[in-house]
Amino acid sequence: MVAGSASSRGKAAFFPANAPRISRPRPNGITSVLDRLRTLNSEELEYLAPYFDIAKIGWGLPLLLSRERVRERVKRYHDVGIEVSTGGTLLEYAVVHNRVGQMLDEARELGFDLIEISSGIIELSRVQIERLADQVRQRNLDFFIEVGKKDPQHQLSLKETNAQIAHARTLRPRRVIIESRESGRGVGIYDTDGAIKWDWVRSITAEHPPESLLFEAPLEAQQIQLLRELGAEANLGNVSLASVAPLATERLGLRGDTFGSIRHSRPVKGPPAAKFLFFLLETYRGLDQTQLAHMSRLPRRTVQSALESLRRQGLVQEAISLHDSRRREYRLS
């Protein structure tokens, strides 16, 4: 045995012996993949399966295949524990052609788990969206509601977006999807260059719990930025199959972009001051009491009491500063 090996020290192996076991449905940190009908490699699908949750066969793509090919494709995802969703365009097409009931019956028979309800191309009233949600429920299918328009020249305002999200949430969908299209540019929370409009994201998440939302983020740079802002448990969609593994490493802080900076949601008990200090330590790390008091604008006694609460919960530890041995810093455990 090699001296100093993990086994000789009685520690677990550094490289895992098996893929992680995932409890589904995952409560948060959902990754939804956009299936563009590329070839599905069985080996690739098997080892990526723990790192994504839903495959959306986008647009009207299911209509390009025979029924049996669609059934076979859905089954391949089911075999590795992945749910399958229709795209919103498919239901909009069914609405225009007055074939919603038929489309939903056949989607269920073919094995689809989720139906995406959207009005990205056509205009649907609130009453129409409510009726569509009822029709989906009657068939014991789950559903998403997507908010946003696909045409960059005809976008919702931020106020309209928040109002539509609020209405969608009253219908209790699995998640409310924030539209981006597959380009990730000029639609929803993205400007024409694909940069995130942070005032939109912060307004949306201030009014609606992030766990109730799924942000479409087709570009890896967008995924990284949303994880850094919203935490590792952010729900992301329109992810390409090729980006599933990179995104998983970002969630776990295993890439330079999020190494040591990604936030993971952990239950924090106690007063609001304790939760606020925990957030500061997640974001900045290695802060002393003076810095915490300055950044939080809380009295020193409140800071001390909140830190003690976090220590009792095992969330924070005190250590000597690496830069100044006279200082005591606080870091997450």
Cross-strand bridge partners of residue 216: 237
The CATH number of the domain where 93 resides is what? 3.20.20.70
Average pLDDT, stretch 258-262?
70
The answer to the question of residue 19 being in a domain is: no
Q: At what angle do helices 158-170 and 198-207 cross, to 10 degrees?
A: 30
Q: What is the mean pLDDT of the chain?
A: 90
Which pLDDT does position 6 carry in this prediction?
A: 47
Do 247 and 278 have their domain in common?
A: no
Look-up of token digits 């038929």: 102
Query: Is residue 313 included in any domain, yes or no?
Result: yes
Q: How many CB atoms lie within 10 A of CB 137?
A: 14
Whether this model's pTM surpasses 0.85: no
- Confidence band (pLDDT; 50, 70, 90) for 273? confident
Whether residue 247 is found in the same domain as residue 277? no
pLDDT for 12: 65
For the cut 70, the answer to whether the pLDDT of residue 1 exceeds it is no
Instruction: Give the dihedral sign, CA 91/150/182/223.
Output: negative
Q: What is the CATH number of the domain that holds 313?
A: 1.10.10.10
- Do 278 and 232 reside in the same domain of the chain? no
Domain membership flag for residue 98: yes
Domain assignment present for 262: no
Domains held by the chain: number: 2
Say yes or no to pLDDT of 215 above 90: yes
Distance CA 54, CA 35 (A): 10
Q: What is the pLDDT of residues 120-132, one digit of tens each?
A: 999 999 999 999 9
The answer to whether residue 7 scores a pLDDT higher than 60 is: no
Among the listed residues 84, 106, 83, the one whose alpha carbon sits nearest the alpha carbon of residue 94: 106
> pLDDT by residue (tens digit) across 9-40?
556 678 888 877 777 888 899 999 999 999 99
Give residue 314's pLDDT band: very low, low, confident or very high (50, 70, 90).
confident
DSSP per-residue string spanning 97-144: TT-HHHHHHHHHHHT--EEEE--SSS---HHHHHHHHHHHHHTT-EEE
Residue 64 and residue 126 in one domain: yes
CA distance 255 to 249: 6
Residues 276 and 243 in one domain: no
pLDDT more than 70, % of the chain: 93
pLDDT attached to residue 263: 63
In terms of residue numbers, what domain contains 294?
Answer: 272-332
